[in-house]
Amino acid sequence: MPSSARVYDYLLGGGHNFAADREVGERLVVMLPGAREGARLNRAFLRRAVLFMISSGIRQFLDIGSGIPTVGNVHEVAQKADPESRVVYVDNEPVAVAHSRQVLRDNERASAIRADLTDPRAVLSHPETTRLLDFDRPIGLLIVSVLHFVPESKDPGALLAHYREALAPGSFLAMSHLSADHRPAETAALVEVTKRTRDPSYPRSRQRFTQLFDGFELQDPGVVSTALWRPDSDADLADRPERDRVLAGVGRKP
């Protein structure tokens, strides 16, 4: 079946996807004008969030739902800023994990594990997680374009609380999430398309997404579209950023 990681890879122009993923990707492009641009903006937010955390002293990262490695992955951004940075990638998609391990085979400070966001114990206690990350020191937790695959029945707030409790004070959480506030017809079409994949989508309102930062202090400018979260160039901006389908924010654990 198509997977969100491989469809996202296709939208970003990657080559690690199958015919079924490309079919879904093309349907999204037809039904949702700007789908590729949205993927690019989300990727740009990830880069800026990592650099913001680096500037705040973070040198270790846990990227959950990391997907398939493409140019500008977290370890590339973080280790360019500081070669001592450590990164653990987490994904439940076997192709994503296998390719990540291949990319990282000569990188002693980065690793990839197969686990699921909805199983915090498996993520946090994995030998590679505990080998690379020191939970007594601040960590940058990245959950970018992943939580909208978790239904309310799995209580995303409680899941995030598990991760928050494991983090040291001074840690950061960066998230982006599909918005339910704009273009309802297009959003409904996206939900319908993803029902036929292994990763159905559950868009949320800005209010609900903001609630998921409970226990973290939202950093300026708060919850905004990906394009408007601390843009550093005109290339980061969408044509109409106020209508962007994906919301983003970064919080700090006090």
- pLDDT of 49-58, one tens digit each? 999 999 999 9
Q: Which residues pair with 175 in a beta bridge?
A: 143, 249
Round the average pLDDT of the chain to a whole number and report it: 89
The full set of domain ranges for the chain reads 4-252
pLDDT on residue 80: 95
Q: How confident is the model at residue 242 (pLDDT cuts 50, 70, 90)?
A: very low
What share of the chain in percent tops pLDDT 90? 59
CATH code 3.40.640.10 for 4-252 = no
* Per-residue pLDDT at 116 exceeds 90: yes
The residue to which tokens 């990592």 are assigned: 50
* Per-residue pLDDT at 176 exceeds 90: yes
pLDDT on residue 25: 75
Comparison of pLDDT for 124 and 179, the residue scoring more: 124
* Per-residue pLDDT at 82 exceeds 50: yes
* Structure tokens that stand for 48 in this block: 């800026």
Give the separation between CA 25 and CA 193, rounded to whole angstroms.
Answer: 10
Q: Which residues of 111-141 are buried (b: 16+ CB within 10 A; e: fewer)?
A: bbbbbebbebeebbebeebeebbeeeebbbb
* 3-state SS class at 12: coil
Average pLDDT rounded to a whole number, residues 213-221: 98
**Beta 110-114 vs 86-91: how paired, if at all?**
parallel
Average pLDDT rounded to a whole number, residues 218-239: 86
Comparison of pLDDT for 195 and 130, the residue scoring more: 130
